[in-house]
Amino acid sequence: MAAAKSRPKIPFWAMAGLSLMPIWAFMYVRALTEPPEVPEGPLGIGAAEFGSCAGCHGPGGEGSSAARQLSDGEVLLTFPNIEDQLRFVYFGSQEYQLAGVTEYGNPEREGGSHKTGSLGAMPGQGENANGSLTDADILAVVCHERYTISDADPTDEAFTEEFENWCSDESPVFEALEGGDATFADLHDAGIVDAEGNPIEMIPIGEEPVAGSPPDGP
């Protein structure tokens, strides 16, 4: 008993310091951890926004009983023209049905065109179609679907011009939409030019659903 009483005791202030060591260690490790990168450009933003689409289309665009497959080139077969895909994503299948548009995308699609509402109802994503995405967000999602999920090759001559104008980090179309200089409704008349200063020709997206265009445009 006497030995126990004579044994040096840990000072109170030291006990307080020891109790704080786990917190200090956590804060130290956290300080050394780099913050997550904020996605930039159409493809980065599109990958983040696609999370809300994955519930129906699948995380890899594999499709489901309620939504079309987007992977393995499927979305490119349906929408050879990016403008038709942007319009469809903006308004959704219900608005197409209300407008009397019976098929969407490429009318000459290999395997047959897609009939509106034939695989469940896709809600409109645009702000004027009861959706929550801006026009720039929708372009980003569509770029992700085309170039990441459906494997369009930006170096392929068939996609190089589209990628540079619509989906690259320097996309003039994305910059115009994100900066508020244009909307889908007036995009084709906005005078947007490519990297060489040439006007970008595009199919009007418009303010309402319309039938899609064949691969070579209207």
Helix (H, G, I), strand (E, B) or coil at 177: helix
Q: How many residues are recorded in the chain? A: 218
pLDDT beyond 80 at 8: no
pLDDT band, residue 113 (cuts 50/70/90): very high
CA dist 131 and 184 (Å) reads 14
What CATH number corresponds to the domain at position 179? 1.10.760
Of residues 180 and 7, which shows the higher confidence score? Answer: 180
Q: Is there a domain that residue 35 lies in?
A: no
Q: Is there a domain that residue 23 lies in?
A: no
DSSP-derived secondary structure for 53-105: THHHH-TTS--BTTB---TTTHHHHH-SSHHHHHHHHHHHHHHHHHTT--EES
Is the distance from CB of 177 to CB of 136 less than 8 angstroms? yes
pLDDT of residue 163: 98
Q: What percent of the chain has pLDDT over 90?
A: 76
Q: Is there a domain that residue 196 lies in?
A: no
Name the average pLDDT for the chain: 88
Q: Is there a domain that residue 202 lies in?
A: no
Q: Is there a domain that residue 13 lies in?
A: no
pLDDT beyond 90 at 217: no
Question: 183: which 2 tokens?
Answer: 């909307």
Question: What are 17-52's pLDDT values in tens digits?
Answer: 545 555 545 455 454 555 545 457 999 999 999 998
Q: Is there a domain that residue 129 lies in?
A: yes
Number of separate domains in the chain = 1
Is the distance from CB of 57 to CB of 65 less than 8 angstroms? no
Q: Is there a domain that residue 24 lies in?
A: no
pLDDT beyond 50 at 13: no
Q: What is the extent of the structural domain holding 96?
A: 41-189
Q: Is there a domain that residue 120 lies in?
A: yes
Question: What are 58-102's pLDDT values in tens digits?
Answer: 999 999 988 999 999 999 999 999 999 999 999 999 999 999 999
Question: What are 119-160's pLDDT values in tens digits?
Answer: 888 999 999 999 999 999 999 999 999 999 999 999 999 999
The string over 167-204, giving b where at least 16 C-beta atoms fall within 10 Å of a residue's C-beta and e elsewhere, is bbeebbbbebbbeeebbbbebbebebeeeeeeebebbe
pLDDT beyond 60 at 184: yes
